[in-house]
Amino acid sequence: MAEIVKKPVKITETILRDAHQSLIATRMTTDEMLPIIEKMDKVGYNAVECWGGATFDASLRFLKEDPWERLRKFKDGFKNTKLQMLFRGQNILGYRPYADDVVEYFVQKSAANGIDIIRIFDCMNDLRNLQTAVTAANKEKAEAQVAMSYTIGDAYTQEYWIELATRIEAMGASSICIKDMAGLLLPYEATDLVTALKEKVNIPIEMHTHYTSGVGSMTYLKAVEAGADIIDTAMSPFALGTSQPATEVMVETFKGTLYDSGLDQSLLAEVADYFRPLRDKALDTGLLNPKNMGVNIKTLLYQVPGGMLSNLTSQLKEQRAEDKYYEVLEEVPRVREDLGQCPLVTPSSQIVGTQAVFNVLIGERYKMATKETKDVLSGRYGETIRPFNPEVQKKVLGENPDIITCRPADLIPDEMGTLRKECERWIQQDEDVLTYALFPQVAVDFFKYREAQQTKVDQNVADKESGSYPV
């Protein structure tokens, strides 16, 4: 009789990053998070995602906090748990591609300040935009996890995902994440996809989804049964809706099975008890919109992520054109098709959504095109799975446009020297130049605030190992 092999599912907790980014616009402060860290450190998570994504921008812009100091405080508190961040490939945490020397330096400083796992993705799934970050992470002995931005469309066959995954493994990734940012991966499709991937690659598979469409927990169940090694979950006070499936629910689901995570529900309950008042406060102040907590089936109908839906609604409200909502929703897939059937994730989701609004409100498609639409059609964001619509490309860019076919960052000269000179006046720590590189105006506003408050970076904890990169 064959021996039954147990395969405990590993849990990555998102409440300190994606969960509050998805539900309350990344407004949880460091002081609100720190008191619970010691308890969270005892849970036995695979990792805690606590940095990257929109946390960097929001910390500076809205909370007047130094994201690097936040990371160092997390590292000081999490003695036994790996810390994870989300990294937008060549765009780092910003919205434009950066030179390789900036990407490398940011990876080096992220690892030096406490990050153990760097999840790296590209909105076009163009692996050329990820290689610099992966190589740098490996050099810094951080785990380089590459995320496939999951989407649907006739070009996105199982063969496409298998080929992408094998290339990701070959480029030196430590693991692969199926990043289902819109909640489009249905349960039985997850079975097929994960089964196929496990047959072809020999590195761990992590599942990431959002509950927007209502199928997230079922998708995780089928993915784990098919061999997924890790799932991303959020503690229940900040779970569901546009966030992730709930940690406690998934732990209980697998309890007593081959996939039992072994996590202690009584300890998880204590963590949940801590966050519940923060959720109630967010509800009372209007920061947590109850609409974000429901199921939005339009996600499956139009392949539009939840965050993109709310963005479209606000754009139309500003223009007093809310009656055009369904026209815009129907236009989104057409624009996406024109732009090479790209996945809809930051920043491509904003680009496609804004262009769809323009097309509908102006009454003529592409009569006005945003700078970002022009950049996509020029190849400045990388290669798409399908060619661009040639008629749209011609209408937007004119005759004989300058199209980029190389890796976009190959055309960007080193930037670190220039950036250091520009922000020299404000530098208190090596990392300040990277803060400035990502968000120049927001960074200077923060540096002025820091100076006015007469606060100084604690040089006893600041990283001084490497003031420049590479060495």
pLDDT tens digit string along 53-111? 999 999 999 999 999 999 999 999 999 999 999 999 999 998 889 999 999 999 999 99
Structural domain includes residue 173: yes
Last residue of a domain, one of 384, 405, 426: 405
Supply the DSSP symbol for 229: -
- Are 217 and 309 contained in the same domain? no
- Are 115 and 234 contained in the same domain? yes
- Are 401 and 419 contained in the same domain? no
Structural domain includes residue 253: yes
Could you tell me the CATH number of the domain that includes residue 51? 3.20.20.70
Beta strands in 186-296 (DSSP E): 205-209, 230-233
Structural domain includes residue 26: yes
- Are 20 and 117 contained in the same domain? yes
- Are 186 and 228 contained in the same domain? yes
pLDDT of the residue at 457: 87
pLDDT tens across 152-183, in order? 999 999 999 999 999 999 999 999 999 999 99
Structural domain includes residue 400: yes
- Joined together, the tokens standing for residue 110 give 């992220």
pLDDT of the residue at 1: 59
- Are 383 and 424 contained in the same domain? no
Last residue of a domain, one of 239, 266, 290: 290
pLDDT tens across 105-128, in order? 999 999 999 999 999 999 999 999
- Provide the number of structural domains found in the chain: 3
- Are 421 and 400 contained in the same domain? no
Structural domain includes residue 323: yes
Supply the DSSP symbol for 453: T
pLDDT tens across 263-301, in order? 999 999 999 999 999 999 999 998 898 878 888 887 887
- Are 385 and 428 contained in the same domain? no
pLDDT tens across 358-400, in order? 999 999 999 999 999 999 999 999 999 999 999 999 999 999 8
Residues 362, 352: Cα–Cα separation, whole Å = 15
- The closest alpha carbon to 253, from 9, 4, 6, belongs to 9
- The closest alpha carbon to 44, from 85, 79, 15, belongs to 79
- Are 446 and 312 contained in the same domain? no
- Are 348 and 250 contained in the same domain? no
- Are 344 and 450 contained in the same domain? no
- The closest alpha carbon to 305, from 335, 329, 339, belongs to 329
Could you tell me the CATH number of the domain that includes residue 322? 1.10.472.90
Structural domain includes residue 4: no
Structural domain includes residue 5: no
DSSP string, 276-319: HHHHHHHHHHTSS-GGGGS--THHHHH---HHHHHHHHHHHHHT
- Are 216 and 234 contained in the same domain? yes
Which structural domain range is residue 391 located in?
A: 304-405
Angle at 47 between CA 42 and CA 51, to 5 degrees: 115
- The closest alpha carbon to 308, from 369, 351, 357, 350, belongs to 350
Residues 466, 210: Cα–Cα separation, whole Å = 38
Structural domain includes residue 425: yes
